[in-house]
């Protein structure tokens, strides 16, 4: 039956009250006692997907569980402000990928701001402010003169200067959330304001500054999801490659031309469409991926190879469920989720686009 925690997660053709509750329970069942949320039990945790799942929990009103996820980040942050790219589920603290990816690190700011907006917990924000500050400083150390942000630092400390459009677009959203946290605490960060403006300018005006990953659907919609492109620019970008990536009735391709649709990309596109004011199309996308739902756990399969009629890989991932919950929450008017992904109330920083 409908409860106050999941009533805004009910969406025709997507989630019934019972299904919404089951999806939330599915994520909670995977979360470890220390707060960590791996992809699934026995697999690894990466910081970005850990935050995505935690945000899904906050959207469902599971604030205590979400807070434990953020406290896990605080406890495992490296001295330089970063997190490693992957931690093994079965061995607490064991690192399986010692690279430090900038978009993984930055996304903590999105989750922390989302949790604060959902709870109004000033004590939590005080606790997490040093964590967010250190994370953003780490990320901005890899910002290039052209505004784009190098995608990772190797374990030996070597910075990779090549930038990814998807990662930089995600970082754009994270920087704006970090600025919102700074404003809430009355601790201005002018360097961050300059950084987010330079990053936005690079994404909007200089595609040549990013590695060519045009085959990936995330490079298509992430400038919209990350709040870089809005209004007519957003609409033009999405319309241009809609037929290339959207498979009617099945979802969104991960990579063109591969016959593989994925739940996470589909839910993220739905979020981007909602942010553009295209709620009807967002609903269509979310309805189209319900074939990925596992009725036993309430979780979602990562993807489906439609030429072979085969679920692949055979994994039910917490981050896919989290992204689905966030998209449904936005369509359902959940205030914190709308604020973080709508972006109207997030600081923009300084905008060099007016100067060309």
Burial class (CB in 10 A: 0-12, 13-18, 19+), 242: middle
3-state SS of the chain: helix, strand, coil percent to 5?
55, 10, 35
Q: Is the pLDDT of residue 5 over 70?
A: no
Arithmetic mean of pLDDT, 269-298: 98
Angle of helix 165-184 relative to helix 335-342, nearest 10 degrees, comes to 120
pTM of the model: 0.97
Arithmetic mean of pLDDT, 217-234: 98
Distance CA(324)–CA(53), nearest Å, equals 10
Q: Is the pLDDT of residue 287 over 80?
A: yes
Average pLDDT, the chain: 96
- Pick from 145, 111, 109: nearest CA to 130: 109
Predicted confidence at residue 91, as pLDDT, reads 65
The phi and psi torsions of 260 (rounded to 5 degrees) equal -135, 115
Q: Are 204 and 233 in contact (CB under 8 A)?
A: yes
Q: Is the pLDDT of residue 193 over 90?
A: yes
Distance CA(223)–CA(218), nearest Å, equals 9
- Furthest-apart CA pair in the chain: how many Å? 55
Distance CA(103)–CA(16), nearest Å, equals 33
Domains of the chain: 31-213 (1.50.10.10), 215-340 (no CATH)
pLDDT tens digit sequence for 102-151: 999 999 999 999 999 999 999 999 999 999 999 999 999 999 999 999 99
| 37-63 per-residue burial string, b: 16 or more CB within 10 A, e: under 16 | bbbbeebbbbbbbbbbbbbbbbbbbbb
Angle of helix 165-184 relative to helix 102-119, nearest 10 degrees, comes to 40
């Amino acid at each position: 039956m409908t409860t106050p925690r999941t009533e805004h997660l009910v969406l025709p053709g997507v989630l019934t009250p019972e299904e919404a509750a089951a999806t939330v329970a599915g994520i909670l069942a995977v979360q470890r006692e220390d707060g960590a949320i791996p992809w699934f039990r026995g697999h690894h945790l990466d910081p970005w997907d850990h935050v995505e799942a935690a945000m899904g929990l906050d959207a469902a009103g599971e604030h205590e569980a979400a807070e434990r996820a953020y406290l896990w980040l605080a406890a495992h942050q490296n001295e330089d402000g970063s997190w490693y790219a992957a931690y093994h589920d079965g061995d607490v603290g064991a690192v399986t990928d010692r690279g430090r990816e900038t978009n993984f690190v930055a996304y903590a700011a999105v989750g922390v701001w989302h949790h604060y907006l959902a709870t109004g917990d000033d004590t939590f924000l005080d606790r997490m402010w040093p964590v967010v500050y250190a994370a953003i400083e780490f990320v901005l150390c890899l910002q290039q003169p052209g505004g784009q942000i190098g995608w990772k630092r190797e374990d030996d400390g070597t910075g990779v200067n090549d930038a990814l459009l998807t990662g930089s677009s995600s970082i754009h959203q994270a920087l704006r959330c970090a600025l919102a946290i700074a404003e809430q605490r009355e601790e201005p960060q002018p360097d961050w304001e300059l950084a987010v403006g330079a990053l936005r300018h690079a994404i909007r005006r200089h595609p040549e500054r990013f590695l060519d990953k045009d085959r990936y659907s995330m490079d298509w919609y992430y400038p919209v999801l990350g709040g870089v492109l809005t209004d007519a620019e957003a609409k033009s970008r999405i319309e241009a490659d809609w037929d290339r990536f959207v498979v009617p009735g099945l979802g969104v391709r991960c990579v063109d031309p591969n016959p593989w649709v994925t739940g996470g990309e589909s839910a993220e596109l739905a979020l981007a469409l909602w942010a553009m004011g295209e709620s009807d199309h967002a609903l269509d996308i979310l309805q189209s991926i319900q074939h990925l739902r596992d009725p036993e756990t309430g979780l979602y399969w990562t993807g489906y190879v439609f030429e072979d009629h085969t679920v692949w890989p055979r994994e039910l991932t917490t981050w896919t469920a989290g992204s689905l919950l966030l998209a449904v929450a936005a369509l359902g008017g959940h205030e914190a989720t709308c604020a973080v992904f709508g972006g109207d109330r997030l600081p923009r920083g300084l905008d060099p686009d007016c100067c060309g």
